Structure formats: C-alpha cells, structure tokens
Amino acid sequence: MSHEVIHGDGAHEPETPNLDFAGTTPYEDYVQADVLTHLQHPLSDDPGEMVFLVTTQVMELWFTVVVHEWETASRALREDDLPVALAALKRSVRELEALNASWTPLAGLTPAQFNAYRSALGEGSGFQSAMYRRMEFLLGEKSASMLVPHRGAPRVHAELEKALQQPSLYDEVLRLLARRGYAIPAEVLQRDLALRYEPSAGVEAVWAEIYGGDQDSELVRLGEALTDVAELVWRWRNDHLVATRRAMGAKAGTGGSAGVAWLEKRASKNVFPELWTARSHV
C-alpha cells in the first residue's frame, strides 16, 4: 500500500513516484537510454578504451545538436527572422562549451596509455565523422574530397552532398546583410557554394561599418553571436591539437592523416574571418 500526503485542500498525493509500468518506463521510451548505454563495444582489453569510446560518442551527439542549431539559424536568416536565428546561435554557444569540455577525460593521456588501445581504431579517425563534416560545411569549410570516405554509406553521402551544395551559415548571414542594403560584393553572393569560403575585403568593410555604428543594433548582436561561435570552434581545434600532441606527439595520425601537423594547420584558421579582421578598422 503506497503512502500518501494529504494537502490542506484535502488532495491526496503519493509520497513516492509511480514505479509500476506495463512496459518500459516513459523515460526509457523518450531517451532510449538502453540503446545508448549498449552502443559501446571495446576492441581491446585495456580499461581506458571505454572512456575513449564513450567520449567520442558523446562528441558525436553534441555535433548533432550543434548542426541542428546552425541549420535552424540558417533557415531563420533566410526568412529574415533574426530573433530566432540569434536564439539558435546562443544555444549553440552553450552546446559548444559542453562539446569542448568533452576533451577533459582525454586531455591527459600519455603515449603509453593511448597506445594501449590505439590499434583498436585501425584506420578510424575523427576526420571521418560525417556529422562533424556537416558542422564544418555549415561554417563554410567546404571540400568535395571529404565526401569520398562516405561513398559506402548512401544516406550519409547524400546528406553531405546536399550540405556541400547548400549555403553555409555564413553565406546566409551575408545574404541577409545584402538584403538590408549593405554592400556585400557580388562575387561573394554569387560564389560557388561547394568551395571553401575565402575572406573578402568588401565583407570586412561591411562588418567594420556595422561595428562602427549602434552597438545595441541586432546586427552587432548577430556579429557577436557569430564571433562567440567562431571562438569556441577555434578552442575546439586547439584542444584537439593539444590532446593529440600530448597523446602521440608528432606521429602520423590514424586513418592516414598527418596527425599533429594537420591539426596545427586547422587550428591556425579562423571561421567567419572578416569578423576578426574588421575589428582593426573600427
């Protein structure tokens, strides 16, 4: 017999929650926790592999959320709905902070600790992550060659092909600025969307103009939200670089990548580049 609490209004409320369900719990039905917690299949006997595997899976989940937010922001920008776009970008900033914190369990790996299960990765490497690639495409880091590893997965390949051909988040920002009367160069607006975005002096001048005006304007707030995103992407790349350098030094990376050398090149680049360079002209 369950205990009940009687309130002043005579209402009865159980002291303990309902524990008896006909099937699986509503929590399980919604979260699919049993699926998530049984997706780990370590391939070595080293106990450290489990944290590496789970951390990588957690990163994939955060990639998925961030892609959702940036696609939401992109749609809102196309519809000139800046409040919705800003809300999605601000959510993604908090999510990027959580994503970056995912490096913490791996940040102190020694070479010997990583080597204990590194062979389990085989040719696997983070650059093969399809969801991370969609993040990069949304940032304007387009590359048709990065579709090649996914030829054997038709659905994933089709999603990446679509993302390659679509405007990036930054493309949508610049189109919105053009619709609002700012002098975004025609060659930027008409560029081949399947190519990596390249900095433009004309775009830099537009951001300098925006930042030189009303500091409470929604376009300054948009610029700052994008800068927050860009900074956290830069921190992600640097945290990846440092964790990799600490765990394996300058050795070649898994999957045939150049390892630290490749990550150093990535970490040296800023996304939304004119948002950084324009500050020198305000």
| Spatial CB neighbours of 191, under 8 Å, sequence gap ≥ 6 | 197
On whether 266 is known to bind a ligand per the annotation, the reply is no
**Maximum Cα interatomic distance, the chain, rounded to a whole number of Å:** 75
Short-list 218, 212, 197, 217, CA closest to 273: 197
By the 10 Å C-beta count (0-12 exposed, 13-18 middle, 19+ buried), 83 is classed as: exposed
On whether 37 is known to bind a ligand per the annotation, the reply is no
Give me the half-sphere count of Cα atoms (radius 13 Å) on the Cβ side of residue 11: 5
Distance CA 259, CA 154 (A): 28
**Residue 23: C-alpha distances to residues 2, 14, 17, 26 (Å):** 21, 21, 16, 9
On whether 118 is known to bind a ligand per the annotation, the reply is yes
Distance CA 81, CA 101 (A): 31
Numbered residues of the known binding site for substrate:
118, 254
Binding residues for heme: 240
Q: Output the known binding site.
A: 118, 240, 254
